[in-house]
Amino acid sequence: MIKRRKSRKIFIGDVPVGGGSPVTVQSMTKTHTEDVAATVRQARSLARAGCHIIRVAVPDLRAARAIAAIVPRIPIPLVADIHFSAELALEAIKSGCHAVRINPGNMRNWRDVRRVVAAAKKADIPIRIGVNSGSIRPRKGWEVSSKRGDMVTLMVDTVLKYCERFEKKYGFGDIKISLKTADAVETMACCRRIATRCDYPLHLGLTSAGPVEDSEVKSSIVIGGLLSEGLGDTIRVSSTGRPLDEVRIGHRILGALGLERRGLEVHSCPTCGRCEVDLEKIVRAVKKATAHIDRDITVAVMGCVVNGPVEAAQAEIGVACGRGWGWLFRRGKKIRRVPVDAIAESLVKYIESM
Amino acid sequence: MIKRRKSRKIFIGDVPVGGGSPVTVQSMTKTHTEDVAATVRQARSLARAGCHIIRVAVPDLRAARAIAAIVPRIPIPLVADIHFSAELALEAIKSGCHAVRINPGNMRNWRDVRRVVAAAKKADIPIRIGVNSGSIRPRKGWEVSSKRGDMVTLMVDTVLKYCERFEKKYGFGDIKISLKTADAVETMACCRRIATRCDYPLHLGLTSAGPVEDSEVKSSIVIGGLLSEGLGDTIRVSSTGRPLDEVRIGHRILGALGLERRGLEVHSCPTCGRCEVDLEKIVRAVKKATAHIDRDITVAVMGCVVNGPVEAAQAEIGVACGRGWGWLFRRGKKIRRVPVDAIAESLVKYIESM
């Protein structure tokens, strides 16, 4: 249903990004990269949770070299996150990373950038040009202004200049881009603007999105809002805290937009003065009892027998709850009446018999 | 920064909706409306949490009459939620509700609808025409199709036909509209489409969004995404569970988009292999220590002294944490070094001295 922007396809290891490929979920390890055991453990647990691509920080040569030990022990491709230093990028590439993320604007000079690009080209890996508002360096004639519109122009123009240089001077087009700020509106404006001006795959996210309770809403707005407009090829929810939350929220966003299988999805009404049951309890019981069912089914659990049946008619299976009893529906047709306490169990039985 | 769609302005009690008014946050009581004490208690607690407009279910005459006792005891305007029955709407209007929400498609006949509109006109209150995908009745030539695009067309055309009838036949234009489904993409498509075809204020939300953990992401995408495009005048996050969560998430969405004062906002990085401190702990301490500060300030709490200072430079106040110590910054300029355990306290002192 979402008409996605046409972007060029690149590969991070064997994972395609862009060109109509499924939107991928990324995260970043929060361990010290040189602690190979801890980094491998965290990357594996993120992969199990559905992380498709993992990024690791490369603050020094030890971290860069550790990549050689990490890559063969994890099931997903690894991106080396580089700041400032061409040497670290070169070492990470030598260690077998599947992509590097750099911000050309914080490297020492263009000669260094050119060396990194040449190494990536030789290793046949892509580069993510990742520009954050905070890391934009004011340059002559490009004063960072406090006005938001100007930051958007500055960031978009900066990234496009980098890309042009990579393509024309270095003959390198294996590029993915990201433009992030800590502000939702600004980040969305950057991504909307640049999307119309190039065909590079877009990596979506925010910087400094805060702890999970703040990041969840902000990331859903930015990443989900842009994806709903067809923009974005790979996403990273960032939050201060457990990296598993990042992956969980990332998949929730994709699921909500139908950009990946949703599995069994429970819809439930907010309840109101018409409700005669503890609907939240019933919903939790249904979610728990159906957790093992790996089919794309929508189950609507509604709090009343007045609107419930009609509202639930679009779901494959519905339950409209009255006092003590719930009516089981299939595509709006009554199946049977079950006691409230038996709703979860009856639903599972019914779905398994379908 | 968000360029909002131009909509006509209506008033729910003394609260303006549309026409450039601040976006309002709504919720709905989950008590039995006729239990006046419980309903008043819940409405008041929602108002304290920032709910601007409250809706109550009116499933029967007792509920409709209870409105007369509720309205004078709560500090925010009340919308009566009516289904099927003109009598309930008339009774709710007589009881002093500040608006009624109806779905003309589920009322008995047009005569009944006309009676409700006439009463609203006489009482000088607006009507919300609220159409949910589940409550759309298939009509001759308007078959509900399983194809999503068709549901969008059906809902948008249906609402516009209702509005046209209200305006032309009944001479009533004091209208607000909502189009909700349980699907994020479908709901966004409905709202985007209808926004270009009328100037009625838009009430944003989803139906059957599920329990809070599902609703938070889905509602943020839909409500936040649409608001970021300039659409929407009033919002309701619905979730199965505590109504306070609905209001909390609603305000988070508005805050993230700069559509209302954010107060003190803490930005924090997700941390990575460069981090030498327990940043989540520091962020929680900072949030707790600054909770009483009622000023619009951004505080960036960054996990390293490498990117931290640059990334934090756009915030008024920043802390870049190294092993054991943090550097306090003001607009990117170093102020002083403080021990990690004293960061929260130092920040508060510094902000209070600003």
Say if domain B10-256 classifies as CATH 3.30.70.120. no
Which of B28, B54, B228, B290 should be substituted to probe chain A, the one whose Cβ sees the most A Cβ atoms within 10 Å?
B228
Would you state the structure tokens that stand for residue A204, as one six-digit string?
């979506």
Would you state the structure tokens that stand for residue B232, as one six-digit string?
């929407």
pLDDT higher for B306 or A171?
A171
Tell me if chain B has a CB within 8 Å of the CB of A258.
yes
Predicted TM-score of the model (pTM): 0.94
Long-range contacts, stretch A159-162, CB < 8 angstroms, 24+ apart: A159/A129, A159/A131, A159/A194, A160/A194, A160/A197, A160/A198, A162/A104, A162/A105, A162/A129, A162/A131
The verdict on a CB contact (< 8 Å) between B306 and A240 is no
Distance from CA of A317 to the nearest CA of B (A): 13
Choose the closest CB to A30 out of B29, B135, B275.
B275
Distance from CA of A210 to the nearest CA of B (A): 4
Integer Cα distance of B184 and A328 in angstroms: 25
Integer Cα distance of A331 and A314 in angstroms: 6
CB contacts of A240 in chain B (<8 Å) are 268-271, 279-280, 283, 301, 303
CB contacts of B274 in chain A (<8 Å) are 57, 59
Choose the closest CB to A267 out of B208, B217, B272.
B208
Which of B235, B281, B314 should be substituted to probe chain A, the one whose Cβ sees the most A Cβ atoms within 10 Å?
B314
pLDDT at A47 over 60: yes
Which of A41, A314, A319 should be substituted to probe chain B, the one whose Cβ sees the most B Cβ atoms within 10 Å?
A314
**Residue B154: exposure state from Cβ atoms within 10 A (0-12, 13-18, ≥19):** buried
For residue A149, what pLDDT is reported? Answer: 57
Choose the closest CB to A28 out of B31, B149, B272.
B272
Per-residue pLDDT tens digits for A259-315: 998 888 899 989 888 888 999 999 999 999 998 998 889 999 998 877 777 777 778
CB contacts of A256 in chain B (<8 Å) are 184, 217-218, 221
The verdict on a CB contact (< 8 Å) between B311 and A207 is yes
Tell me if chain A has a CB within 8 Å of the CB of B272.
yes
| Domain range summary for chain A, segments of one domain joined by + | 10-256, 264-353
For residue A142, what pLDDT is reported? Answer: 47
Tell me if chain B has a CB within 8 Å of the CB of A96.
no
Choose the closest CB to B221 out of A33, A132, A221.
A221
Integer Cα distance of A235 and A187 in angstroms: 13
Integer Cα distance of A338 and A325 in angstroms: 6
Which of A183, A208, A260 should be substituted to probe chain B, the one whose Cβ sees the most B Cβ atoms within 10 Å?
A208
Would you state the structure tokens that stand for residue B322, as one six-digit string?
């190294």
The verdict on a CB contact (< 8 Å) between A300 and B208 is yes
Tell me if chain B has a CB within 8 Å of the CB of A305.
no
Integer Cα distance of B67 and B39 in angstroms: 10
CB contacts of A184 in chain B (<8 Å) are 224, 228, 256-258
Choose the closest CB to B211 out of A249, A280, A310.
A280
Q: For residue A94, give the amino acid letter.
A: K
Q: Which CATH superfamily is domain A264-353 in?
A: Sulfite Reductase Hemoprotein, domain 1 (3.30.413.10)
Q: What is the mean pLDDT of residues A310-335?
A: 85
Distance from CA of B310 to the nearest CA of A (A): 6
CB contacts of A270 in chain B (<8 Å) are 28, 30, 209, 238-240, 243, 246
For residue A139, what pLDDT is reported? Answer: 53
pLDDT at A168 over 60: yes
Tell me if chain A has a CB within 8 Å of the CB of B184.
yes
A to B CB pairs, distance under 8 Å: 255
- Which residue on chain A is closest to B59 by alpha carbon? A274
Instruction: Assign B188 to helix, strand or coil.
Output: helix
Would you state the structure tokens that stand for residue B309, as one six-digit string?
């200072």
Q: What is the DSSP letter of B327?
A: E
The verdict on a CB contact (< 8 Å) between A216 and B220 is yes
Q: What is the DSSP letter of B14?
A: T
Integer Cα distance of B146 and B159 in angstroms: 19
pLDDT at A136 over 80: no
Interface of A with B in 228-247 (CB under 8 A): 228-229, 238-241, 243, 246
For residue A186, what pLDDT is reported? Answer: 94
Instruction: Assign B331 to helix, strand or coil.
Output: coil
Among candidate residues B93, B167, B95, the one with its CA nearest the CA of residue B125: B93
Tell me if chain B has a CB within 8 Å of the CB of A264.
no
Beta-bridge partners for A139: A142
Choose the closest CB to B185 out of A56, A185, A258.
A258
Ordered DSSP codes for A159-225: HHHHHHIIIIIT----EEEEEE-S-HHHHHHHHHHHHTT----BEE--SS--BHHHHHHHHIIIIIH
Beta-bridge partners for A179: A131
Per-residue pLDDT tens digits for B79-93: 999 999 999 999 999
Which residue ranges in chain B fall short of pLDDT 70?
137-149
Would you state the structure tokens that stand for residue A19, as one six-digit string?
């060109």
Question: Highest-confidence range of A71-75, A129-133, A341-345, by mean pLDDT?
Answer: A71-75
CB contacts of B189 in chain A (<8 Å) are 1
Q: Give strand ranges (E) for chain B.
A: 10-12, 15-17, 24-28, 53-57, 78-81, 99-102, 127-132, 175-180, 203-204, 234-235, 265-268, 298-302, 317-321, 325-330, 333-339
The verdict on a CB contact (< 8 Å) between B300 and A182 is yes
